[in-house]
Amino acid sequence: MYAVTLRAQTKDGRMDELKEFIKSKALPSLEVPGIISIGFLNPELNTNLGMAFLTNKESAEVFAEERTKNIMQVADVFASFPKVVEGEITLGKIYKERSANDNEEAFVRVVFAKVDNSEAPTNFVKEQIFPIYEEADGLRGAGFFVADGEAVSWNIWDSEEVANAVVPKFNEQLSSAEGIFLEDPKPYSGYLYAGRNFVDINKT
């Protein structure tokens, strides 16, 4: 499976315009062959974060073409060109089945961290973070990959309350991760304002 993340900063006062465009125009146009699900959140003032899951890199390439077309239609709302990080998912698990729908609701946390290799962060997440997931309540799915010198980790929850319940455990493990990340990981979190499961999501 392949994951695509997109981080964008909007100009002051333009976020609502971007959200409306994504909900009314972008989402329908991004339904390309091989897409599994997609979601968008507004984790910070003027910050938009999108994440999509696709069956393979070939589907992601078609998705990229449509994504670029959409970005160009609303280019004026951005303070800078959106940053894309994408790659094959190396660690991932679905904990709760979800039906295909046009309005997926969830609380999402995505964490980015600069790294100089993929082995150490992958092993850290596999050995220290995924065991936390296994014991968590309200977790729908989680995953991880490394691409272009950046590690990307995400978890999808039923609510903010259940997501925050495991934060102390995450922080405890991160305190012992010296040397794995080149700088402190940067978390983004929030409820989806637009989301869609194009197919049924089954447990893995």
**Could you report the per-residue pLDDT of 167-181, keeping only the tens digit for each?**
999 999 999 888 999
Give the model's pLDDT for residue 102. Answer: 86
What proportion of the chain, given as a percentage, has pLDDT over 90?
A: 96
Q: Are 194 and 22 in contact (CB under 8 A)?
A: yes
Structure tokens at 116: 């100089």
Q: Are 38 and 195 in contact (CB under 8 A)?
A: yes
* pTM for this predicted structure: 0.95
Mean pLDDT of 79-92: 97
Give the model's pLDDT for residue 103. Answer: 87
Give the model's pLDDT for residue 52. Answer: 98
Mean pLDDT (the chain) is 96
Structure tokens at 150: 């950046």
Mean pLDDT of 156-176: 95
Give the model's pLDDT for residue 165. Answer: 96
End-to-end CA distance of the chain: 12
Q: What is the CA radius of gyration of the chain?
A: 16
Give the model's pLDDT for residue 204. Answer: 80
**Residue 138 pLDDT level (bands cut at 50, 70, 90):** very high
Q: Are 36 and 1 in contact (CB under 8 A)?
A: yes
- ∠ CA 171-172-173 to the nearest 5 degrees? 90
**Could you report the per-residue pLDDT of 100-126, keeping only the tens digit for each?**
998 889 999 999 999 999 999 999 999
Mean pLDDT of 133-157: 97
Whether residue 45 has pLDDT greater than 90: yes
Contacts of 12 (CB under 8 A, 6+ apart): 46
Closest CA to 130 of 104, 102, 94, 179: 94
The Cα–Cα gap between 157 and 137 comes to 9
Q: What is the DSSP letter of 82?
A: P
